[in-house]
Amino acid sequence: MPASIDIVIPVLNEERALPGTVATLREFLRDAIPNPCRIVIADNGSDDSTPQVGRGLAEEHPDVAYLRLEQRGRGLALRKAWLESEAEILAYMDVDLSTGLNAFPKLVSAIGEDGFDLAIGSRLMKGSVVKERTLKREITSRTYNIIIKAMFFTRFSDAQCGFKAISRRAAQFLIPKVKDQGWFFDSELLILAEKGGFRIKDVAVEWVDDPDSRVHVVRTARDDLKGLLRLRMGGLSSALRRGDP
């Protein structure tokens, strides 16, 4: 039987986007993915009507679940949803579906068939297509990933793309070691994974910038750099000493 999959959608005040996203994703999964799939709406602190919308979608569809967290933080939402999941493959994607869903089967097969521990969407590798991205965000993203490679000699190409999958085994081992609860969660997870000997597959994606994105580029970049310095100054070696994969 194909591996079971949980796809987490972290949301914060997404009452308008959520119904359309869930409908689009359910239709895609039904047609393109033979595995048993569940969509998990991880609401981390919404104060609009997102809770009512999320609960309604979960009541309407048996393959949709709603998870409420009072504290905000994308990393916190992924940590709770993934660690509590019993699915064999754990994934997440942004609610705006900026990343083309046609790449999702490649994430699944990388873990379920090819033996990789993580599979990540990349906007920066050969074969990827990026549309409507501002120059500021493009330069910030490329510079950030260059800094990661320079500091940690990593091979993965795009730490921040909101389109990733991980095996349950790898998640159970790695996530308790990740300290960040916000946007740096992805980067920290990937650095720990590669340095811990886990296999990571980069997948080229089609990506369209969302002009309504809630990401504050400058603040996020500043927090990410703080996180990198924390890992570089001993956080990485300390985390890797706590157990073996």
Split at pLDDT 50, 70, 90, the class of 234 is confident
Catalytic residues: 186
**Gyration radius of the chain's alpha carbons:** 17
Q: Specify the DSSP class assigned to residue 175.
A: G
- Domain borders along the chain are 5-240
Give the model confidence (pLDDT) of 101-117 as tens digits: 999 999 999 999 999 99
Instruction: Please state which architecture CATH assigns to domain 5-240.
Output: Alpha-Beta Complex (3.90)
Gap between the Cα atoms of 69 and 92, Å rounded? 16
Summarised one tens digit per residue, pLDDT across range 10-40 is 999 999 999 999 999 999 999 999 999 999 9
The answer to whether 100 touches 207, Cβ cutoff 8 Å, is: yes
pLDDT tens, position by position, 70-89:
999 999 999 999 999 999 99
The C-alpha angle 235, 214, 110, rounded to 5 degrees, equals: 60
d(CA 54, CA 42): 9
Task: Map residue 206 onto helix, strand or coil.
Answer: strand
Instruction: Identify any residues that bridge with 11 across adjacent strands, giving them in sequence order.
Output: 43
C-alpha–C-alpha distance, residues 47 and 44, integer Å: 10
- Rounded to whole angstroms, what are the CA distances from 230 to 64, 73, 157, 198, 227? 37, 19, 21, 21, 5
CB under 8 Å to 168, separation ≥6 — which residues? 85, 86, 87, 88, 89, 90
Q: What is the pTM of this model?
A: 0.92
Query: Confidence band (pLDDT; 50, 70, 90) for 222?
Result: confident
Packing angle of the helix pair 185-195, 74-84 (nearest 10 deg)? 50
pLDDT at 242 (0 to 100)? 61
Is pLDDT larger for residue 173 or for residue 131?
A: 173
C-beta neighbour count of 110 within 10 angstroms: 23
